[in-house]
Structure formats: structure tokens, C-alpha cells
């Protein structure tokens, strides 16, 4: 992800919409692809992307220039995507319980999320879908986005050891698939 200059962030904090649009242009592509790798659905990823930038806009005044702006945006994106996954998982369980209690066949979520026809993308998405949402986020941030363990720990607000553990378990799971 490209760095966002501090002067652009400061202007956006002061309410300059052109500066906020510049922040969006610089960061939205990477944020979207990170969200998509976690969620595996284009439409839902677009919805979460909008939610992320609403949160960025609303929280911009609280951002201090003491840390990396891109790490801060990643943190918001990953946390929003993980929250969405938890809510979706809860919603799927409730729907399955409803269908089960109503005597209907249960539709299991599966490959309906694979939308691209390119073999590489399908393979990556298929492999990532075998991971928990927190493992998926760690793998995406480390292997696809190239963040350091410390940056991932900052984004996910966890310890470096937890990141290492999640990455180790994710890699083991990927190797066993």
C-alpha cells in the first residue's frame, strides 16, 4: 500500500474532502483486496469496504500521527471484516437452526463464494476458506500484503506471539489440505 502523506491526513482531519478522497484513492484497492481475501464475496466485501471508510472518516480526528496511517487503516479494515464474518457465521447458524426446526433442508455454505474463473484466484480462495477468519487475516496480511509480524500484531491488536501462533496453525492447516 502506498504511504499517505501526513499533510494529506492533516487536511482530511480538518474536513478537506479532497484530501479524504485522496486517502480513499490511495488505500481503497489494498483495503478491498484484504477484505475480499477474508470474506470471499465481492458484494459483501464492497459493503464492508464502505463501512471501513465510514469508520475511517468518523475516526479520522482521533488518529494521531504518532503511528503509521496505513497500519491504522488496515486495523480498521481487518477488524471490520472479522466482525462481519462473526456476524455472518452467527446468522448462518441461526438460519440453519430455523430450517432444521422448520423441517427444511439445510443449505450449507460452500463454493458459492468463488466468483473468479482464474485458476490461481480460485485455488487461493479455496485454500483460505479452510482457515478461521483470524488465521485468514494473518495469512493475507503476511503472505499477500507482506506486513511484518509486528505490523500484523498492531493491526490485529494482539501480541506478536499470537500472530506467530496463528500463522503457524494456518500454514499447517494449508499444508494438510
- Is residue 119 in some structural domain? yes
What cell numbers appear for 86 in the block?
Answer: 462473526
| Pair 20, 57: CB distance under 8 Å | yes
Locus of grid cell 479524504:
20
Q: Is residue 33 part of a domain?
A: yes
- How many whole angstroms separate alpha carbon 38 and alpha carbon 52? 14
The residue range of the domain holding 61 is 6-176
Nearest partner of 144 among 160, 120, 117, 162, judged by Cα? 120
Residue keyed to cell 490485529: 156
Give CA angle at 31 (26, 36), nearest 5°: 145
Nearest to 44 by CA among 95, 92, 87, 84: 84
Q: Is the pLDDT of residue 106 over 80?
A: no
Tally the domains of the chain: 1
Evaluate whether residue 56 is within a structural domain: yes
Q: Which residues contact 176 (CB under 8 A, 6 or more apart)?
A: none
What pLDDT shows up at residue 110?
46
The pLDDT-based confidence of 1 (bands split at 50, 70, 90) is low
pLDDT at 31: 94
pLDDT in tens, 37-60: 999 889 999 999 999 999 999 999
CATH number at residue 120: 1.10.1740.10
pTM of this structure: 0.60
The tens digit of pLDDT for each residue in 73-95 reads 999 999 999 999 888 765 555 45
CA dist 116 and 114 (Å) reads 6
138 located within any domain? yes
Report if residue 1 sits inside a domain: no
Sequence length of the chain is 177
Amino acid at each position: 500500500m502506498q504511504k499517505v502523506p501526513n499533510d494529506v491526513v492533516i487536511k482530511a482531519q480538518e474536513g478537506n474532502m479532497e484530501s479524504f478522497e485522496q486517502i480513499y484513492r490511495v488505500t481503497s484497492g489494498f483495503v478491498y483486496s484484504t477484505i475480499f481475501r477474508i470474506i470471499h464475496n465481492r458484494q459483501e466485501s464492497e459493503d464492508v469496504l464502505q463501512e471501513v471508510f465510514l469508520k475511517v472518516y468518523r475516526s479520522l480526528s482521533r488518529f494521531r500521527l504518532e503511528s503509521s496511517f496505513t497500519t491504522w487503516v488496515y486495523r480498521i479494515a481487518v477488524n471490520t471484516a472479522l466482525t462481519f464474518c462473526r456476524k455472518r457465521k452467527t446468522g448462518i447458524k441461526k438460519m440453519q437452526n430455523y430450517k432444521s426446526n422448520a423441517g427444511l433442508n439445510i443449505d450449507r455454505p460452500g463454493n458459492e463464494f468463488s466468483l473468479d474463473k482464474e485458476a490461481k484466484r480460485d485455488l487461493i480462495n479455496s485454500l483460505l476458506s479452510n482457515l478461521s477468519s483470524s488465521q485468514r487475516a494473518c495469512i493475507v496480511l503476511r503472505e499477500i500484503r507482506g506486513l511484518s509480524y509486528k505490523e500484523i500484531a498492531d493491526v490485529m491488536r494482539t501480541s506478536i506471539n499470537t500472530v506467530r501462533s496463528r500463522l503457524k496453525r494456518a500454514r499447517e492447516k494449508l499444508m494438510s489440505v
